[in-house]
Chain A
């Protein structure tokens, strides 16, 4: 699987340009992080990339084919989308929710059968929430519900996972759990992932590539270490940013932090 965006641009109407001429390539089992300030268009970018919103110019390609030319069921068998976790007005149990991820494999009148149930079971195991199977999604914690959303995307057996701020509303521990799960999935199953995130440290921690969106509509894509630099981050977030390496118990960590009046 090779996912590519070539010269993607998006504007609301004629004037309101969000971003311009974005290009990147991603192959299994790489992880790409998308970073940018509020309003820089991270979510819009993700929706365009997946064809949920039409590009103003440019296109996304899956294995060289424009995704607009790929039948929707085939496309969503390859791509698993994990939206920002939100409950709908009708609440389902974890199992009912995750089995919806099988939709792209079933016909118009199809219903999930024994095989689908087994796949759901595996996905629940993989994300560590098998014990929550019969629980209502509204009774879960934020971290658990995020895992349900990831499990649902996995149930479609995708080659590419696309996650919209999966660790945004979570505490330290759960952020790590989610990141570790994503990293483990990419390593064990050999799938690729694209992650929108507000945390440059997370990008440095798990992603091979990064895409940085600047507020003037331009973008920078490349190796994470080359993209997340003090200079680029300062420009993208309009605040002085410093990057420091710290050693904790013999392990190196990279800290990215804003400096006021620096």
Chain B
């Protein structure tokens, strides 16, 4: 093995393979961007109020199609309802998938989800409390956001010590999650079963129906910032899956990166949950789909989760609002559609690469 002379052809074949890999990644990137644009456009045409693709173009790019007539109602529907909702579904899907992928790497555990540290449960409590008190929707969102962030601060404080380990962080997260989960149950218990309880329950199952431009203005920057931070740190996430001593010995500032990623993922999760309730499955399922296609290197897993999450969620949400006369809760659909898709992929690709 050692001291074998350099095998030229093997090296060249290696770099050829590398080029092919990069070509594959470029093709996937292009395909995902095209799919996102196409599906977003398609989703905007669908719904109770029918709008054609031409009409959407005419509204979005005035002057481009002078012969297509658009009404004010159409404009209102597109700008105030459809676009915010489609944007939110893209952001929520991308955000939850990226947050899930980052937690799985950070805790070196394929079963981690964006809620592993109790952020989503905390945010849910904030929201249902707001609903219980009859607060206006923006305040419900604000309260959810605040509770989600509070949850992660509690986790940080509980696990803080000089020789802090990742196990301490996860345990603290489980404790905080259990606490907030009990508080959510308490709210359900005291909620008026006639009108409050259905609202609370519906909210907990997740839906994007309440999307408005103002809520998006509060939530979207947080989601985008969180995604950006994780995107920038994506290569470092590979080292974070190693035992802590090993990562440190590679010169990785383990603690700082851990907190940066936790803060980023918490920001994403709290904002998504504050806007559209609990969305389950996406954060677990999409990163694994990405790994089945690209392997475990987070340089590919993070971008792929981002794209696939956005695509998956825009499809789910469009089905949620168009399939039946009333909205179907999103979490039901993510599981009903997501589980079979996941199983098919699992069988086809032979599973996660081990």
* B232 engages A109 (CB within 8 Å): yes
* A72 engages B253 (CB within 8 Å): yes
- Report, as a range, how many residues of chain A touch the other chain: 35 or more
User: Knowing that A109-B233, A112-B235 are A-B contacts, what are 18 other residue pairs whose CB atoms are under 8 Å apart, sorted by A's residue number?
Assistant: A47-B245, A75-B251, A76-B251, A88-B108, A90-B105, A92-B296, A100-B238, A103-B236, A111-B235, A121-B14, A129-B1, A130-B7, A131-B10, A134-B17, A147-B2, A156-B250, A177-B1, A184-B2
User: Which residues of the other chain, B, contact A108 by a CB distance below 8 angstroms?
Assistant: 233, 236, 253, 257
**Chain A residues in the interface with B (C-beta under 8 A):** 47, 50, 52, 72-73, 75-77, 79, 81, 83, 86, 88-93, 96, 100-101, 103-105, 108-112, 117, 121, 125, 127-131, 133-134, 136, 138, 143-144, 147, 152, 156, 177, 180-181, 184
Q: Given known contacts A86-B243, A96-B238, A112-B235, is B249 in contact with A52 (CB within 8 Å)?
A: yes
* B295 engages A103 (CB within 8 Å): no
* A121 engages B11 (CB within 8 Å): yes
User: Which residues of the other chain, A, contact B257 by a CB distance below 8 angstroms?
Assistant: 108
User: Which residues of the other chain, B, contact A47 by a CB distance below 8 angstroms?
Assistant: 245
Closest Cβ of chain B to A74, distance in Å, is: 9
* B299 engages A88 (CB within 8 Å): no
15 CB contacts below 8 A, A to B, read A81-B249, A83-B243, A88-B242, A89-B108, A96-B238, A100-B250, A103-B251, A104-B251, A108-B257, A111-B299, A121-B14, A130-B10, A147-B2, A156-B250, A184-B2
Could you say which of B11, B110, B249 contacts A130, with CB atoms under 8 Å apart?
Answer: B11
Residue B252 CB within 8 A of the other chain: yes
Closest Cβ of chain B to A123, distance in Å, is: 12
Residue B246 CB within 8 A of the other chain: yes
User: Which residues of the other chain, B, contact A90 by a CB distance below 8 angstroms?
Assistant: 104-105, 108, 110, 238, 241, 291, 296
User: Which residues of the other chain, A, contact B110 by a CB distance below 8 angstroms?
Assistant: 89-90
User: Which residues of the other chain, A, contact B295 by a CB distance below 8 angstroms?
Assistant: 92-93, 96
Closest to B104 in A: A90
Q: Which of B240-272 contact A (CB under 8 A)?
A: 241-243, 245-246, 248-253, 257
A172 to B333, CA, bound (A): 57
Q: Given known contacts A177-B1, A180-B3, is B14 in contact with A104 (CB within 8 Å)?
A: no
Q: Which of B186-242 contact A (CB under 8 A)?
A: 232-233, 235-236, 238-239, 241-242
User: Which residues of the other chain, A, contact B353 by a CB distance below 8 angstroms?
Assistant: 91, 136
Residue B109 CB within 8 A of the other chain: yes
Closest Cβ of chain B to A67, distance in Å, is: 12
Closest Cβ of chain A to B303, distance in Å, is: 12
**Chain B residues in the interface with A (C-beta under 8 A):** 1-4, 6-7, 10-11, 14, 17-18, 104-105, 108-110, 232-233, 235-236, 238-239, 241-243, 245-246, 248-253, 257, 291, 295-297, 299, 353-354
A204 to B346, CA, bound (A): 52
Closest to A80 in B: B249
* A130 engages B105 (CB within 8 Å): no
* B11 engages A103 (CB within 8 Å): no
A64 to B40, CA, bound (A): 62
A110 to B251, CA, bound (A): 13
Closest Cβ of chain A to B241, distance in Å, is: 5
Could you say which of B3, B235, B250 contacts A184, with CB atoms under 8 Å apart?
Answer: B3
Q: Given known contacts A93-B295, A131-B10, A156-B251, is B241 in contact with A81 (CB within 8 Å)?
A: no
A181 to B3, CA, bound (A): 8
User: Which residues of the other chain, A, contact B245 by a CB distance below 8 angstroms?
Assistant: 47, 52, 81, 83
* A177 engages B11 (CB within 8 Å): no
Q: Given known contacts A128-B1, A181-B2, is B252 in contact with A103 (CB within 8 Å)?
A: yes
Closest to B108 in A: A89
User: Which residues of the other chain, B, contact A180 by a CB distance below 8 angstroms?
Assistant: 2-3
* B246 engages A83 (CB within 8 Å): yes
* A131 engages B7 (CB within 8 Å): yes
Closest Cβ of chain B to A192, distance in Å, is: 16
* B235 engages A81 (CB within 8 Å): no
* A91 engages B354 (CB within 8 Å): yes
User: Which residues of the other chain, A, contact B7 by a CB distance below 8 angstroms?
Assistant: 130-131
A156 to B332, CA, bound (A): 48
A87 to B112, CA, bound (A): 18
Closest Cβ of chain A to B194, distance in Å, is: 48
User: Which residues of the other chain, A, contact B250 by a CB distance below 8 angstroms?
Assistant: 76, 100-101, 103-104, 152, 156
A72 to B249, CA, bound (A): 9
User: Which residues of the other chain, A, contact B3 by a CB distance below 8 angstroms?
Assistant: 128, 180, 184
Could you say which of B1, B243, B251, B291 contacts A88, with CB atoms under 8 Å apart?
Answer: B243
Closest Cβ of chain A to B223, distance in Å, is: 19
User: Which residues of the other chain, B, contact A117 by a CB distance below 8 angstroms?
Assistant: 18
* B6 engages A130 (CB within 8 Å): yes
Closest to B257 in A: A108
Q: Given known contacts A52-B249, A100-B238, A100-B250, is B232 in contact with A89 (CB within 8 Å)?
A: no
